[in-house]
Structure 1
């Protein structure tokens, strides 16, 4: 008997939650109800199937080569680009230091590296030095 009361209370609560609290519909709702046909829910066995798990690159390496992928290489079940990724610079698991960035698969300090001054592939002219990320600062 107690279970019946609990079921009734839950059913009433759900019915109240689904009702529209406003007594009169707005003008937009009236226009939509006249133009659009009522929504009919169709269910099928195909739609009721559980979704498959995400395809990870350790099982499907070609996932990383799809357009829109973060990179063509697979490291720890994630697609990355080892030529620019600080956590996987040059190969999986090689981390760059805090002050370094990954350029062409090598960890470099952009504040002092002559070939990557201030950023990747930003080389200084002959005879100038890279200081504080700028060529010929002094």
Structure 2
């Protein structure tokens, strides 16, 4: 009985892994939408803000804010990221749930704090965009254009 149960568990887990690898757009939600998959840093665009600290005294002209840095939107002194443009215009930082978020690319805070994109969508320039079947300029990810005459299916250009 134990061997049969072990084999059945192995088959189910293997099938699940294969299905998830075939459909990368499927995501398992853990209920912790406030966590980040990768660590990013945002370089604050000029003009420099005097209330922000630099990473080191040698980088006095460059102010860096780590993705997810704590902030307090109820306090002017501790709200270090609200509405600050960063990374040469590719980021716009807001204080969402006490953490700095880029509302131009964060799927949980797209365009504004708390606006979550649906399954199969990504936040492209602050707008939730279907990247699985996009005939325009966002195929599979933001700003990925397919060649002329090639359609975007399942997030791939020319998928057959």
RMSD after superposition: 3.0
Query: What are the superposed Cα offsets for residues 40-61 of structure 1, whole Å, 9 maximum, x if unpaired?
Result: xxxxxxxxxxxxxx96331236
For 1:103 and 1:91, the matched residues in 2 are separated by 13
Please give the secondary structure, in 1, of the residue aligned with 2:80: helix
TM-score normalised by L of structure 2:
0.44
Please give the secondary structure, in 2, of the residue aligned with 1:101: strand
Q: For residue 76 of structure 1, report the CA deviation from its aligned partner.
A: 2.5
Q: Which residue of structure 2 lines up, in the alignment, with residue 88 of structure 1?
A: 109
CA distance 1:135–1:61, change in 2 (3 Å)? farther
Q: For residue 62 of structure 1, report the CA deviation from its aligned partner.
A: 5.2
Unmatched runs of 5 consecutive residues or more in structure 2:
1-68
Q: For residue 77 of structure 1, report the CA deviation from its aligned partner.
A: 2.0
- Give yes or no for the alignment of 1:57 onto 2:72: yes
Higher relative contact order (CA 8 A, sep 6+): 2
Question: Between Structure 1 and Structure 2, which shows a larger proportion of strand residues?
Answer: 2
CA distance 1:90–1:61, change in 2 (3 Å)? farther
Please give the secondary structure, in 2, of the residue aligned with 1:128: coil
Contact kept in structure 2, 1:84 and 1:102, CA below 8 Å: yes
Question: Between Structure 1 and Structure 2, which shows a larger proportion of helix residues?
Answer: 1
Number of aligned residue pairs: 84
TM-score normalised by L of structure 1:
0.51
Structure number with greater Rg is 1
- Give yes or no for the alignment of 1:129 onto 2:151: yes
Please give the secondary structure, in 1, of the residue aligned with 2:71: coil
